[in-house]
Structure 1
């Protein structure tokens, strides 16, 4: 059975521990890159990453986009929402459905 991890700055992710998720606080891009590879190579099927940390790991995250696991999902952190998480979900759904789900006339 796969596990779920949440990676980002400590203030943004500490609450997820109460839900039983593994939290992985990181403070530098190098540390985040190393931890992402460890999580992806382990038993983690879903990895939530704060948008701020993900912005520093774009190339690393792209390496896993064509794989079934892990699924990497961007979430807002305490510093706010950049919209990157919503844009990622939108792009994935567009690819699967073949249409813009947020298009309005």
Structure 2
């Protein structure tokens, strides 16, 4: 498998537009389906990136934990059509703080 595909999971209005740029979309409003989709996508070993709607972050805690130690696929949060909650930026900031030993994203 090549890990070369990109997938997006979330509400229809958030993920469907991504189809126009070649991303395979898995639209759902059912929280239980989100975890099933992510597991299915990750285990296929075809997708290097899985975009997940930011509003689903807390609902997929078990799935995130399951794949936390895996290099691929990368599970990346994207804002919904209603806007960003800032979770993606917060996660990147915390990751960079651990790696660099300080907050390199801090405004001076």
Check whether TM > 0.5: yes
Report the counterpart of residue 65 of structure 2 in structure 1.
62
How many Å apart are 1:69 and its aligned residue? 0.6
Partners of 2:66 and 2:97 lie apart in 1 by 20
The 10-residue stretch of structure 1 (56-65 or 92-101) with the greater mean CA deviation from structure 2: 92-101
Report the counterpart of residue 103 of structure 2 in structure 1.
100
TM-score, normalised with respect to structure 2: 0.88
Q: Aligned-pair RMSD on alpha carbons?
A: 1.4
1:9–1:26 CA contact under 8 A, matched in 2: yes
User: Gaps spanning 5+ residues in structure 2: where?
Assistant: none
TM-score, normalised with respect to structure 1: 0.90
**Pairing 1:52–2:79 present:** no
How many Å apart are 1:89 and its aligned residue? 1.6
Matched residue pairs, number?
105
Moved over 3 A (4+): none
User: Gaps spanning 5+ residues in structure 1: where?
Assistant: none
